[in-house]
Amino acid sequence: MLANALQGVRVVDLSRILAGPWCTQNLADLGADVLKVERPGLGDDTRGWGPPFVTAASGEKVAAYFLSCNRGKQSVTADFANAADRDWLLRQIRDADVLVENYKVGTLAKYGLDYASLAALNPGLIYLSVTGFGQSGPFAHRPGYDYIFQGMGGLMSYTGIEDGEAGAGPLRAGVAVVDLMTGMYATSAVLAALVQRGRTGRGQHLDIALLDVAVAMNANQASNYLVSGESPVRSGNTHPNLAPYEVFACADGHIILAIGNDTQFAAFCRLMGTDWHSQSDFATNAGRLTHIKRLRPLLREKLVCWQVAELGRALDANGISWGGINDLEQVFAHPQVQHRQMLQTVEHPQLGRLRLVRNPMVPMDQGVQSTPPPVLGPAALPESTHYDRQEI
């Protein structure tokens, strides 16, 4: 079972906020034993990133943000500056497979928790550093959050309302996409390093930077620039390489119309009772992109006469891709989302019933992954060699 794929893998999680915790949550969902080490009294910053909050029986308030990225972990608090706590933590690391941290470059070296020190203690340790700018370079010591990298990495330069339209200007994505993508790249790197260690017996230092990820995730937009020499510009809800591929108003709402090829466009035109597909300017995708400012008002005039549900049925019948724009209540009520069991309910002994989102890597027939996110854990136990996993 994939949910048990990492059973027996021990992870010490020194990360906070989202990118690092997203990686370690993935590892926990795949069966790893993840020990989240937090600051005494405060814990991970995101415990306070609310409202909304869930209140534990003890009175502790836990932000929904924290719950989104810390499933399946055990929490313990430790002060790195305290010798007894640090010695206890070193004993955990000695027998760990993976350590994940996202401190500013050089911070952990002050406590003997840097890679060079820990590799001497545990040569097989896979040490993952997640930082804003990486372990080297002129910006390496600068801090940074996701929002910064959405701007610096290029995403916001072509995301937003196009010039000349009302409200023109750059916009960030509505969720921390650079953090999340960094967490996914980090997960892949850790899994690859575990496979490689199986061949060599040696660990390694993984250096994952949010800026690197922000640059990489430009994907086709970066390739468009590298081929053409022209930076993409903001284009609202349109696609830089396909047309029509955008949001349109209907009589009672909006839809996303996603035409992926010329055959689909011809089918769409027949459904609309037009011959646009036979006109030279619109017959090919390249032509439609070139002449989109002429095509768009024609599309709007036709589509605004349809009800969303009626249009959706007609598009489905003709094999044309489309989608509604759902709020989250509609998302979790959607029959396909429900069939895929993306919403899962778990019981937490202190926080009560929690509704969580299934990790899509873990097949839905393998049940609820791991355990719920933890309340802030107890102090480290210096007299113990290991922190024994307990019920939260």
Give the CA distances from residue 11 to residues 6, 116, 125, 274, 294, in Å, rounded to whole numbers and listed in that order.
10, 18, 10, 60, 56
Orientation of helix 19-29 relative to helix 177-200, angle to 10°? 50
Closest CA to 190 of 100, 124, 107, 118: 100
Is 388 assigned a catalytic role? no
Three-state SS sequence of the chain: CHHHCCCCCEEEEECCCCHHHHHHHHHHHCCCEEEEEECCCCCCHHHHCCCCEEECCCCCEEEHHHHCCCCCEEEEECCCCCHHHHHHHHHHHHCCCEEEECCCCCCHHHHCCCHHHHHHHCCCCEEEEEECCCCCCCCCCCCCCHHHHHHHCCHHHCCEECCCCCCCEECCCCCCHHHHHHHHHHHHHHHHHHHHHHHHCCCEEEEEEHHHHHHHCCHHHHHHHHHHCCCCCCCCCCCCCCCCEEEEEECCEEEEEECCCHHHHHHHHHHHCCCHHHCCCCCCHHHHHHCHHHHHHHHHHHHCCCCHHHHHHHHHHCCCEEEECCCHHHHHHCHHHHHCCCEEEEEECCCEEEEEECCCCCCHHHCCCCCCCCCCCCECCCCCCCCCCCCC
Residues linked to residue 6 through DSSP beta bridges, in sequence order: none
Q: Catalytic: which of 85, 179, 207, 212?
A: 179
Closest CA to 254 of 199, 299, 189: 299
Closest CA to 313 of 379, 243, 255: 255
Is the peptide bond preceding residue 232 cis, with omega within 30 degrees of 0?
no
Write out the catalytic residue numbers.
179
